[in-house]
């Protein structure tokens, strides 16, 4: 198959329109068969639930070209599960999980020419999403929904690739206790836009959010979970009911324990203790594992000693093993890699 004429090594994390997208409609109480279309535009009522009350949830996963030339994706069943839960929380009809995985396979196959070849550090980002499409004016769920998946080739999420980034403690809160922080709803990102623009204007790559109830504990950034490495080389993972259950983070925990023999503690992490850690990473589908050099907490600079020039040694081992599994260089745990073709 002839790949598209893209400078694979030079793309960032942006939208490039690919050939086919998957669409499935929910009308009169049930989902239709669904299938691939070419039209990337959506026409809907001016009063659609998503436009008025932000009734939308989404997912993000990637397709990779492996060293031996296959196209695979990573744990799509967990994205299906998470989207199911996100939909229930926003009173949307959940999308069947097997059908979700099948739709991912179909849409990636149809855009195989857009999957970056092995070795360029680029992947095909897959964006499943679902939204209320019928009119609602009183505050209530829509009657009709659309589920779609588009794909776009991407490179590194943070400018500068693997270079350690600087982030700041946000003065805004991301997710309330018992709110929607643990689901992947568009509204969680809309409220973070002012904070991210502020951070970027001040020269930071991201915000680290604190728990809104006490503002003493680390939650996560706008688009990734946080992980830390302590002075003994152990992994410390913040635990909270209001952060997104990152599939990357859960995979890293497994890899640390079962591939690398690294001790993992999942617990509440105080902002006041993070200065004791040697490495901090941001983990997610888009971020993969991105090293953090420092956090600015209102002009108190917290530096991570082993992340100053490049990713520290423990994060590097985790990164190499995780991406090795994703790219087929290291044997994956049963069920983690879905071969597409």
The secondary structure of 160-173 as a DSSP string is TTTS-EEEEE-SS-
Residue nearest to ligand COI (CB): 60
Nearer to ligand COI, 3 or 127 (CB): 127
Q: Tokens at residue 311, please?
A: 């990713």
14 Cβ contact list (under 8 Å, min separation 6): 152, 154
Residue nearest to ligand PLP (CB): 284
132 Cβ contact list (under 8 Å, min separation 6): 48, 49, 50, 53, 55, 56, 92, 141, 142, 144, 145
Residues in the chain, total: 341
Helices and strands per DSSP (H, E), number in the chain: 7, 18
223 touches ligand PLP (CB under 6 A): yes
To ligand PLP, the closest distance from the beta carbon of 206 in angstroms equals: 10
- Considering only 55, 170, 246, 307, the residue that binds ligand PLP (CB under 6 A) is 246
Among ligand PLP, ligand COI, none, the one that 225 touches (CB under a kind-dependent 5 to 8 A) is ligand PLP
To ligand PLP, the closest distance from the beta carbon of 80 in angstroms equals: 12
Nearer to ligand PLP, 123 or 285 (CB): 285
285 touches ligand PLP (CB under 6 A): yes
To ligand PLP, the closest distance from the beta carbon of 252 in angstroms equals: 9
170 touches ligand PLP (CB under 6 A): no
Are 31 and 100 a contacting pair, CB within 8 Å?
A: no
- Considering only 25, 60, 89, 259, the residue that binds ligand COI (CB under 6 A) is 60
First to last CA, the chain: 12
- Letters for 276-315 (x = contact with ligand COI by CB under 6 A, - = none) are --------xxx-----------------------------
Q: Which residues, 178 to 237, sit near ligand COI by CB under 6 A?
A: 223
Place of tokens 């070795």: 119
Nearer to ligand COI, 157 or 277 (CB): 157
Place of tokens 């090594």: 9
Residue 232 neighbours by CB distance under 10 Å: 8
Q: Tokens at residue 232, please?
A: 């003994």
Q: Tokens at residue 62, please?
A: 């990637």
Q: Which residues bind ligand PLP (CB under 6 A)?
A: 60, 220, 223-225, 244, 246-249, 284-285
* Positions that interact with ligand COI (CB under 6 A): 60, 223, 284-286
């Amino acid at each position: 198959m002839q790949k598209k004429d893209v400078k694979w090594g030079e793309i960032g994390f942006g939208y490039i329109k690919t050939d086919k997208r998957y669409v499935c409609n929910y009308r009169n109480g049930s989902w239709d068969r669904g299938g691939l279309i070419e039209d990337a535009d959506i026409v809907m009522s001016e009063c659609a639930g998503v436009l008025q009350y932000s009734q939308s949830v989404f997912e993000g996963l990637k397709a990779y070209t492996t060293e031996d030339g296959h196209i695979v994706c990573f744990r799509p069943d967990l994205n299906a599960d998470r989207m199911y839960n996100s939909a229930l929380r926003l009173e949307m009809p959940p999308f069947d999980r097997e059908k979700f995985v099948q739709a991912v396979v179909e849409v990636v196959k149809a855009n195989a020419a857009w999957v970056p070849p092995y070795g360029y550090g680029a992947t095909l980002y897959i964006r499943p999403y679902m939204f209320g499409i019928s009119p609602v004016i009183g505050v209530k769920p829509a009657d009709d929904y659309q589920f779609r998946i588009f794909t776009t080739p991407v490179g590194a999420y943070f400018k500068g690739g693997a270079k350690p980034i600087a982030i700041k403690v946000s003065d805004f809160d991301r997710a309330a206790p018992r709110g929607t922080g643990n689901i992947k709803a568009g509204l969680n990102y809309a409220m973070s836009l002012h904070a991210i623009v502020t951070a970027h204007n001040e020269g930071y790559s991201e915000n680290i959010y604190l728990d809104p109830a006490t503002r003493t504990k680390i939650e996560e950034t706008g688009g990734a979970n946080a992980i830390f490495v302590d002075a003994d080389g152990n992994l410390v993972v913040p635990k909270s009911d209001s952060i997104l259950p990152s599939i990357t983070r859960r995979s890293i925990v497994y890899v640390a324990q079962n591939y690398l023999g690294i001790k993992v503690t999942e617990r509440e992490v105080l902002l006041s203790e993070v200065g004791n850690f040697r490495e901090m990473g941001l983990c997610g589908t888009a971020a993969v594992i991105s090293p953090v050099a420092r956090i600015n907490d209102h002009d108190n600079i917290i530096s991570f000693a082993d992340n100053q020039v490049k990713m520290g040694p423990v994060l590097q081992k985790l990164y190499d093993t995780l991406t090795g599994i994703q790219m087929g260089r290291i044997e994956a745990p049963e069920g983690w890699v879905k071969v597409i073709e």
